[in-house]
Structure 1
Amino acid sequence: VDGVIVSGSTSIDESMITGESIPVTKTIGDEVIGSTINKNGFIKFKTTKIGKDTMLSQIVKLVEDAQGAKAPVQRLADKISGIFVPVVLVIALITLVGTYLYTGEINNAVINAVSVLVIACPCALGLATPTAIMVGTGRGAEEGILIKSGEYLEIAHKMDTIILDKTGTITKGHPTVVDIKNYSQYDNKKLLSIAASLEKSSEHPLGEAVVEYAKKNNIENLEVKEFNSITGKGIEGIIDEKKILVGNISLLEENNIKLSNEEILEIENYQVQGKTPLLISSKNEFLGIITVADEVKETSKEAIEELKNMGIDIYMITGDSEATAKTIGKEIGIENIIAEVLPKDKSSKVKELKEKGHIVGMVGDGINDAPALAESNIGFAIGTGTDIAMEASDITIINGDLLSIAKSIKLSHKTMRTIKQNLFWAFFYNSIGIPVAALGFLNPMIAGAAMAFSSVSVVTNSLRLRRIKL
């Protein structure tokens, strides 16, 4: 069910729906969505939507509609075989009749006609595509790239546009400590120790990020007395006989902690960068800022640069503000930003680009990405994301590394090149052998051996894909 809060306030993890890892503060009058998680605080809400009217149900419907609209790929081998086989049958009949009329010997006529049929047997044509696809998908699996069907391996090399969801795709998908700005007489270790000791009693994901960071850096915990959590604002407690506050600017204002213009500007700058500032103060003094953000993955910038070098236009799509999105885009080298997008509208953005004639790939990891993944020409799901996203996608990247997107495109290019080589040699081989057989220069046994060799050469060529470097 979806609803509206009628009493209480809390922080809600909406990452399952919106993809954003930072919990959202909710109070009276705010909407709550079914399948999201109440992290701390007690609320009562009035149900406004049930069943098929809820946001989750709408997302599922969008996925089903988009999947039903996908058209199958017409295979090149089928087209060639559809023309080649009838032509060969006609040539064999002409050979039978022509040889009999010319020599008057039915035995020679039948042998020549059979030789034509044997040498022209389209086994190699039939093997050309499936063997390459089978080896290609297997090679992808070795790299942690799971491809649902051969048709998606065929489409991948045609992509000219890729849309990347921000949270969990470009970024790590969970908050971590990024900056420590110290205004106190303490050193950074002591400031972090104070904040982490207080946050240890908190259940808030931002607090957990601070605690985890302190643990990694071997920061000692201090004794905390009279801990208190103030929903929507922060936490407070006594450390070394001093009252310590950790939270947002509302908590500081409530406790009459004054901030200078320089400090306020610093806080605003962090917010524009997409970081959440945790403000630390004692009762009478502002001590500093610890910022928490969903950090960009180490390989994201390199992967985006590689995709650009392939001639692919990159878009980043996010629910963040325009300013925050542009800051992140600048950091990783993406100029095309689609910001302030509601979860249900992501698939519409994909559709817009498709209508302009682009072959669009979508990369995402959340429930909110599933309709866009299904709507795109080819959907890439991050394996560290939700099951619904993986179900809606065509290719799953198990390790969550964006470099694997580039690898899958390279694999598609090489697989399609192998298929075309197979088709060429199979067709060329048969085309040379048919007139030789029709003129009576080819024994059926030799024709059979040649036909088998043709099939073996196609399979061997496909197996070369196992050794390609991605």
Structure 2
Amino acid sequence: MWCTSCALAVEGVLSHRKGIESISVHYPTATLWVKGAAEAISLDTLAPGVKRLGYRLTELEAGADAHARLEQESRYLSLRLLVGAVFGMWTMLASLLIYAGALPNPTIEWVVAWVSGAFSIPVVTFAGWPFYRAGLRTLRAKRPGMDVLVTLGVWSAVVVSFGLLWRGSAEVYFDTAVMLIVLLLGGRLVETLCRHRGLKALDVLPQPKGEALVWEGAKWQVKPLAEVLPSARVMLTPGELIALDGILEEAAWVDTASLTGESTPRHFPKGEPIYAGCRLLGSDDVSMTVTHALGDRRLDRLRDQMRHYQTQKGELQKLADRFAAWLSPVALILGLATLPVGLLLGLGLEDAAVRALSVLVVACPCAVGLAVPLASLAGSGRLLNQGIALRDPAALETLARVKTIALDKTGTLTQGEPVLVNWVGREGVTEQAVKATLYQVAANSPHPLAQALKRWAGSDPTYVPRQAPLIEEVPGQGVHLHLPEHGDIWLGSQRFLSSQGIELPEYETDTSLAASEVVLADALGWLGSFYLEDTPYEDAASSIQSLQADYWVVMLSGDRPSAVEAVAERLGLAPNACFAERSPEAKARLVQGLPGPTMFVGDGVNDTLGLVAADTGAAPFNASDAAREGAAAHLLKPGISSLVEGLATAQATRRVMLQNLTLSAVYNTLALGLVIVMAIPPLVAVLAMVASSLSVTLNAARLAWRD
């Protein structure tokens, strides 16, 4: 597509078709988003209508294809701009000699004026061809846009100039036609580079290699990713990006920085889900069972959601489209009416024609069409670089107006898994001995607290059981393990060990009331007590402090009050801003009662109602699928630090949108009024129109290019 008028033309042709509920054509990404009955929105149904306008509609292109398309567009524009600049330079030089009165007599001026016209022919024909083609397409769609105005302006300048030459006058306007084309081509090239930069924001998501080592036919075989299906078993090589989503068959250390920005590698136990884009560490290969094939990976879904967002339009973009939709026809009518009205008012034919030419040129709504989409594209790309992917077209504008932020506790502010914060042991027993005994019993319990203690204890390489242990577990209370060569070991709550006849001593710790206690005992009695907490992310306290400077921040949780109070004290949240033991329905009611616009951040199935109830919802990095579906934004990094920068970026983006929209609307309204009541040289009108377009483009580019 050539411009925003092209997008409006395609929308106009398709929007009135039966079965289509809503449609949006996004010029910066050249993408069509359509909703409606299946048969009405199929590619085979829509493509012929688009083809009649002169465009080609295909399936959504891959990221690499989009890069290639924009590079091709850049070369296409650069070639025409080069032709326009080389030949236009001589046209402008000839016109300058005439305007400056540097030629000795009128005859030579007339000859130089013909030379000016001759050098303008390649510019008007070859360099200006894309404008004429786009203008014809928008006329077919009955949506005349800026390209119709450009076409009329260029050829009016050429026709008036040849008419003046025919009458023997050297006061020609070939320079106006050339300047209009060259400057607009330069603006188009800047727009294309900005669009290319916005698309490259998606490259912040890593791209693994295109093949995998798959277990098939009783041996490992290399297969293309496209042929690897869910449930297949693949081998992961240390140092390489993981290519597919899956479940680890062995414990491993994984670097998630390329996908999440987390600087510290994480330990993934056996059975833990892992995502494409992470990097396996260590020296040994690890096998994995594939859960999501190519095209359905988390990386793919994030890219699709980002492009889905880019395609749709927020309220400011819809306002800009409505303004541009009526501005072009009004300007066209005013331009065509200026000539006869000027003649009726007593102006000469030349003066009336020049006045009409100036109206056509100055009214081009380029800036209006570009005001919002380029700012939106730059802002959303910057958000993705900061770790926030948007999937709702209105989310960017809503984020900029948020007043209250409600945060879930577990999995959002805290890491969602217990961590040992303190322990006490029997006198005379070393930590190594405690860890060795603890690992033996914790490894035989699936309870989250037991698994956390197992991770702390680590493996005991010196211990190899001679016989299988006898295990007796009371769900939710504890586990009793009998090893023939070691004796009995108990692990569980105080209540469980007391029921087993084990006497517990009195001891004091400095652990908070939110900690969960787990007791360990052996045949000799009490061996140790361990205290575990769901600890906040490292950046949680600093992020909360930064957010509280501009927003009202509250915490909603279904956890017990003591746990909520302990986390609130660590993070610096006031007691009256924390709500414990809240059901999903209660969370939603609380969110609806908060001062709006509101934002809710939650990761679990129990948070889905709150995500829907808020004006905009965000799902943390480790959120459930249900939470991701209900959220308008996805955080790509653990913790909430990305929210601090993201909200600031959303505000900056909305400011740029409003600045661009106001600037372009004021320019077009004032320029049209001014050029009608007084004579403005066509060349000045060209410079004013191009300056307005470049101003909104460069203003939007500030978002993408700022540090």
The question of whether the paired residues in 1 share the 8 Å contact of 2:361 and 2:685 is answered with yes
Aligned to 2:386: 143
Against the structure 1 CA distance between its residues 463 and 321, is the aligned structure 2 distance closer, same or farther, given a 3 Å change threshold? same
Distance 1:73 1:435 in 2: 27
The reply on whether 1:235 has 2:235 as its aligned counterpart is no
Cα deviation digits, residues 22-79 of structure 1 (max 9, x gap): xxxxxxxxxxxxxxxxx9xxxxxxxxxxxxxxxxxxxxxxxxxxxxxxx974655357
Q: Is 2:501 aligned against 1:256?
A: yes
SS in 1 for 2:504: coil
Q: How many angstroms apart in 1 are the aligned matches of 2:513 and 2:314?
A: 44
The residue type paired with residue 468 of structure 1 is: R
Q: Is contact 1:257-1:283 (8 Å) kept?
A: no
Contact 2:491/2:518 (8 A) holds in 1:
yes
Counterpart of 1:313?
A: 552
User: Does residue 394 in structure 1 map to residue 632 in structure 2?
Assistant: yes
Q: Encode CA deviations 1:347-390: one digit per residue, 9 max, x unaligned.
A: 2221222xxx4211011112221221122111111132222211
Q: Give the drift of 1:337.
A: 0.6
Say whether residues 1:339 and 2:580 are aligned partners. Answer: yes
113-122 or 364-373: which moved more? 113-122
CA distance in 2, matches of 1:454, 1:330: 52
Report whether the alignment pairs 1:289 with 2:532: no
- State the partner residue of 1:359: 597
- Residue identity in the other structure for 2:473: I
1:156 aligns with 2:394: no
Alignment partner, residue 211 of structure 1: 454
1:168 maps to which of 394, 402, 411: 411
* 3-state SS of 1:250 partner: helix
Question: 2:432 aligned with 1:192, yes or no?
Answer: no
| Cα distance in 1 between the residues matched to 2:590 and 2:325 | 39
User: Corresponding residue for 2:423?
Assistant: 180
For the residue of structure 1 that corresponds to 2:619, the secondary structure is: strand
Distance 2:503 2:639 in 1: 44
Give the structure 1 partner of residue 264 of structure 2: none
Q: Verify the 8 A CA contact 1:270 1:276 in the aligned structure 2.
A: no
1:150 CA drift (Å): 4.2
Structure number with bigger Rg: 2
Matches within 5 A, 1:418-429: 418-429=656-667
The worse-fitting range, judged by mean Cα deviation, of 102-111 and 408-417 is 102-111
Give the Cα separation in 1 of the matches to 2:524 and 2:432.
21
- Letter paired with 1:295: T
Q: Shift of the alpha carbon at 1:457? A: 2.5
1:108–1:229 CA distance, 2 compared to 1 (3 A): farther
Larger mean Cα displacement after TM superposition, 372-381 or 416-425: 416-425
1:308 is displaced (CA, Å) by 1.1
Question: In the alignment, what sits opposite 1:277?
Answer: 517
Write out per-residue CA displacement over residues 398-431 of structure 1, whole angstroms, 9 at most, x where no aligned residue. 1233011112101111111222232233234335
Which of 616, 622, 625 is residue 384 of structure 1 equivalent to? Answer: 622
Q: 1:397 to 1:285 in 2, by over 3 A?
A: same
**What is the CA–CA distance in structure 1 between the aligned matches of 2:446 and 2:605, rounded to whole Å?**
24
**Structure 1 residue 111, shift from structure 2 partner:** 3.6
Shift of 1:283: 4.0
Q: Is the 8 A contact 2:620 2:634 kept in 1?
A: yes
Q: Kindly state the Cα deviation for residue 165 of structure 1 after the two structures are TM-superposed.
A: 0.9
Q: CA deviation at 1:277?
A: 1.3
- From 532, 538, 541, give the equivalent of 1:301: 541
More strand by percentage:
1
Please state how far the C-alpha of 1:100 moved relative to its aligned partner. Answer: 3.1
Distance 1:184 1:322 in 2: 34
8 A contact 2:617–2:632 mirrored in 1: yes
1:322 corresponds to: 561
Partner residue, 2:376: 133
In 2, are the aligned partners of 1:189 and 1:219 still within 8 Å (CA)? no
Measure, in 2, the Cα distance between the counterparts of 1:140 and 1:427: 27
Which of 612, 621, 641 is 1:374 aligned to?
612
Cα gap change, 1:137/1:119 in structure 2, threshold over 3 Å: closer, same or farther?
same
Q: Distance in 2 between matches of 1:252 and 1:308?
A: 45
Distance 1:454 1:241 in 2: 83
- Determine helix, strand or coil for the equivalent of 2:424: strand
Instruction: State the SS of the aligned residue for 1:167.
Output: coil
Quote the Cα distance in structure 1 between the aligned partners of 2:588 and 2:353.
61
Question: Contact 1:236/1:245 (CA < 8 Å) preserved in 2?
Answer: yes
Asked if 1:411 corresponds to 2:649, the answer is yes
Counterpart Cα distance in 1 of 2:596 and 2:667? 37
* SS at structure 2 position matched to 1:163: strand
Aligned with 2:490 (options 245, 256, 278) = 245
Q: CA–CA distance in 2 between the matches of 1:334 and 1:117?
A: 60
Q: Is the 8 A contact 2:422 2:511 kept in 1?
A: no
Count of paired positions? 389
Does structure 2 conserve the Cα–Cα contact (< 8 Å) formed by 1:156 and 1:412? yes
- TM superposition shift of 1:211: 1.5
Q: Is the 8 A contact 1:157 1:413 kept in 2?
A: yes
SS of corresponding position for 1:361: strand
Contact 2:316–2:657 (8 Å) recurs in 1: no
Quick one: which of 83, 99, 103 aligns to 2:342? 99
Structure 1 stretches of 5 or more lacking a match? 1-38, 40-70
Q: Distance in 1 between matches of 2:393 and 2:362?
A: 29
Do residues 123 (structure 1) and 361 (structure 2) align? no
Q: CA deviation at 1:312?
A: 0.7
Q: Which residue of the partner structure matches residue 65 of structure 1?
A: none
SS at match of 2:517: strand
Q: 1: CA distance between counterparts of 2:570 and 2:700?
A: 41
CA, structure 1 residues 72+458, in 2 after alignment: closer, same or farther (shift >3 Å)? closer
5+ residue gaps in structure 2? 1-270, 272-312
Task: Flag the 1:212–1:303 CA change in 2: closer, same or farther, 3 A.
Answer: same
Partner Cα separation in structure 2 for residue 104 and residue 464 of structure 1: 45
Q: CA deviation at 1:435?
A: 4.6
CA distance in 1 between counterparts of 2:663 and 2:383 reads 25
Cα drift, residue 286 of structure 1: 2.1
Give the Cα–Cα distance (whole angstroms) in 2 for the partners of residues 403 and 395 of structure 1. 14
| TM-score normalized by the length of structure 2 | 0.50
Match of 1:350 in 2: 591
Q: Residue type of the partner of 1:236? A: H
Q: Which has the higher relative contact order, 1 or 2, with Cα contacts under 8 A spaced 6 or more apart?
A: 1
Q: Indicate conservation of the 8 Å contact 1:360/1:378, yes or no.
A: yes
Q: Deviations over 1:244-274 (max 9, x none)?
A: 21111222111222335x44x76xx85831x
The verdict on how the C-alpha distance between 1:86 and 1:272 changes in structure 2, with shifts beyond 3 A counting, is farther
Distance 1:458 1:72, change over 3 A: closer
The CA deviation string for residues 183-205 of structure 1, in whole angstroms up to 9 with x for no partner, is 43213332222111221222333
Tell me if the contact between 2:388 and 2:633 (Cα under 8 Å) persists in the aligned partners.
yes
